[in-house]
């Protein structure tokens, strides 16, 4: 089993709603990450091409996400939302064109991180606002960026 790097952060308080991308290269890595967080059989997964960007790019997907979030909170007592972005995301290239395409140079690496952080932060803020409006569902939101080897970084977003 390859060594994977995972960030340090407070653990999920309860069940989790995971928003991830549809990239088939990372399915096993996503499961491994969630197992590492002691969330085996404790998370719902909602998949959108581009994850947070998918919700921002398409109002119907955004609406579907929030409807799903409410049902997940009702049925599974979701307390945390994980937004899991990933590097080399084809949906970013499809939706954003050249702005969403990145090379392997350090400056591309930093720009890719910043763009994923921007969209993850935007959705995280909407989730926090939704949670305030639906006070019966107090939610924590954490945003992550996965590389193509399954390593994960915490996207630095406000709690």
Instruction: Give the separation between CA 3 and CA 128, rounded to whole angstroms.
Output: 33
The first and second tokens of residue 5, run together, are: 């790097």
Count how many domains the chain has: 1
For residue 157, name the pLDDT band (cuts at 50, 70, 90).
Answer: low
State which residues form the domain around 70: 15-153
- Residues 126-144: pLDDT tens digits? 999 999 999 999 999 999 9
Predicted confidence at residue 4, as pLDDT, reads 72
| 2 occurs within a structural domain | no
The first and second tokens of residue 71, run together, are: 């049902």
pTM of the model as a whole: 0.94
The sheet carrying 140-146 orders its strands as 43-47, 15-20, 78-86, 140-146, 152-154
| 127 occurs within a structural domain | yes
Q: For 114-137, what is the mean pLDDT?
A: 97
Predicted confidence at residue 3, as pLDDT, reads 60
For residue 11, name the pLDDT band (cuts at 50, 70, 90).
Answer: confident
Instruction: Give the separation between CA 34 and CA 48, rounded to whole angstroms.
Output: 18
| 4 occurs within a structural domain | no
Dihedral through CA 130, CA 132, CA 133, CA 136, nearest 10? 100
Instruction: Give the separation between CA 140 and CA 137, rounded to whole angstroms.
Output: 10
Q: What are the two backbone dihedrals, phi and then psi, of residue 158, each rounded to the nearest 5 degrees?
A: -65, 145
Domain of 20, CATH number, reads: 3.40.1050.10
| 62 occurs within a structural domain | yes
| 10 occurs within a structural domain | no
- Residues 57-112: pLDDT tens digits? 999 999 999 999 999 999 999 999 999 999 999 999 999 999 999 998 989 999 99
The first and second tokens of residue 51, run together, are: 């994850």
| 145 occurs within a structural domain | yes
Predicted confidence at residue 2, as pLDDT, reads 57
| 8 occurs within a structural domain | no
**Which strand (E) or helix (H) includes residue 148?**
none
Predicted confidence at residue 29, as pLDDT, reads 96
Residues 6+ apart with CB under 8 A from 18: 30, 34, 43, 44, 45, 46, 81, 82, 84
Share of the chain above pLDDT 70, in %: 96
| 49 occurs within a structural domain | yes
Q: For 27-42, what is the mean pLDDT?
A: 94
């Amino acid at each position: 089993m390859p060594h994977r790097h995972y960030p340090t952060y407070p653990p999920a308080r309860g069940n989790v709603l995971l928003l991830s991308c549809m990239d088939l290269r990372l399915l096993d890595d996503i499961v491994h990450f969630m197992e590492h967080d002691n969330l085996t059989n404790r998370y719902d997964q909602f998949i959108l091409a581009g994850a947070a960007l998918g919700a921002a790019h398409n109002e119907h997907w955004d609406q579907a996400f929030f409807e799903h979030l409410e049902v997940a909170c009702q049925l599974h007592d979701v307390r945390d939302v994980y937004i899991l972005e990933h590097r080399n995301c084809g949906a970013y290239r499809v939706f954003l064109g050249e702005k969403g395409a990145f090379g392997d140079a350090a400056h591309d690496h930093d720009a890719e991180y910043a763009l994923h952080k921007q969209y993850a932060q935007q959705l995280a803020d909407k989730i926090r606002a939704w949670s305030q409006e639906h006070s019966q569902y107090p939610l924590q939101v954490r945003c992550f960026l996965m590389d193509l080897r399954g390593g994960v970084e915490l996207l630095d977003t406000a709690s």
